[in-house]
Structure 1
């Protein structure tokens, strides 16, 4: 049996934007004014658990406040623009669904249920592995930048694949060490692979191919003998290997040759290790991913009932 196994999969961060629930109502003087039930609740002094920072200005969102939750180091962070707009996206919520209690999740769902035109703008999906991955190499069959952070012995502690400014990137890191620095040390090894999708790509979260092409391996890559019925030459293997190790770029080759090299890299296999894309197709890992997607759906798609609105 493969010693590398996925322990759990969950959504580790979810950012949702939208428009506040503006309506027209008369004030105490009988004059018409713009009114938002969400703003009224968030700035209601009775909501004593809300910590507000009204003087923090970051441009679009003129008012910022934090709703802390019970677990240490975690919070729901909401940003709003109190100035009425008929078209501007003036609401943003950023939180970790996995750390919310049932009560906190229900509270946030009621808020989100009144937000119009909701959409996800960032999703972090995490796969946890209770195994020491310092000696493993992460590949995803794509040519993109890599940044490594190592300990004093030269062992990898954190690896980024892809730019953090792009709409998709990967992060592999030692969760055990990170947790020890913040809370308390866990006894078992604990590494995490996070895939982040943002902007338009995040809006396709329910059909997105999570962890596509990601492989963890220690051994050398095994190149296919043939691709599209044509023999893979030693020269092509060397070129593909250089690209996989960021020693050369695809732009150095002709368009047709790039296509062939991409197909060769995609067909590469490893003896041992873990192919996340294939592993997640199996039960119970597929169920873990489906449960994480249901959680995202709960905050994005579900609206409170009429009774819930009445008790808002």
Structure 2
């Protein structure tokens, strides 16, 4: 042990994090929220026995940023047989790797976790289109780039809640604590 300490460990440099995981818990039912990014990323959704979304993944596990949104209450019940007392408990986890670790304070800039109020739209054709896009993800692929941009903007505008703003402000308030650990 002494040789190891003197010849190896003492010469190792602390270059900072190679991976950083951020987790945010919400006592709200996020299955009704719509998550989207400004960039093109792979999105995978798993549905629970009730037919509602239970887990959503953005990106792929090997990418520099991997986002998962899941029903933490259900996960605790399924994996640890633990009953969470609050009515809802959802978690948003952001896994940052490689170069993205250095940009942790910007990791939400292109993400939106929204509660769209599509019924507030005045035009019935816009209501129908937004409803379809919210409930049939594959329809996004049939739209032109300009139409995608138009409807992403519209969905952001009709959403009174964007949880990413709350996560950004939490990160900002904890910035010094996170930077110290880096």
TM-score by length of 2: 0.69
* 1:245 has 2:137 as partner: yes
* 1:290 has 2:164 as partner: no
Question: Can you give the 5+ residue segments of structure 2 that lack an aligned partner in the other structure?
Answer: none
**Bigger fraction of residues in helix:** 2
CA shift at 1:263, angstroms?
4.5
CA shift at 1:155, angstroms?
1.9
TM-score by length of 1: 0.44
Tell me the secondary structure at the aligned position of residue 143 of structure 1: coil
**Bigger fraction of residues in strand:** 1
CA shift at 1:270, angstroms?
5.0
- Distance in structure 1 (CA, Å) of the matches to 2:19 and 2:108: 14
- 1:121 is matched with 18
Question: Can you give the 5+ residue segments of structure 1 that lack an aligned partner in the other structure?
Answer: 1-26, 28-33, 39-113, 224-233, 301-312
- 2:162 is matched with 275
> Equivalent of 1:215, from 89, 97, 113?
113
> Equivalent of 2:48, from 145, 148, 151?
151
Count of aligned pairs: 169
- Distance in structure 2 (CA, Å) of the matches to 1:274 and 1:165: 30
Taking structure 1 as reference, are residues 184 and 134 closer, same or farther at Cα in structure 2, changes over 3 Å only?
same
* 1:202 has 2:101 as partner: yes
1:131-142 alignment, distance < 5 Å = 131-142=28-39
* 1:192 has 2:164 as partner: no
Taking structure 1 as reference, are residues 278 and 132 closer, same or farther at Cα in structure 2, changes over 3 Å only?
closer
RMSD over aligned CA atoms reads 3.7
8 Å contact kept, 1:150–1:158: yes
* 1:176 has 2:68 as partner: no
Q: Which has the larger radius of gyration?
A: 1
- Distance in structure 1 (CA, Å) of the matches to 2:148 and 2:62: 23
- 2:8 is matched with 36
- 2:59 is matched with 162
Tell me the secondary structure at the aligned position of residue 29 of structure 2: coil
CA shift at 1:174, angstroms?
0.6
Taking structure 1 as reference, are residues 221 and 37 closer, same or farther at Cα in structure 2, changes over 3 Å only?
farther
Deviations 1:221-257 (A, max 9, x none): 989xxxxxxxxxx8xx78xx59x9243549x85xxxx
8 Å contact kept, 1:146–1:160: yes
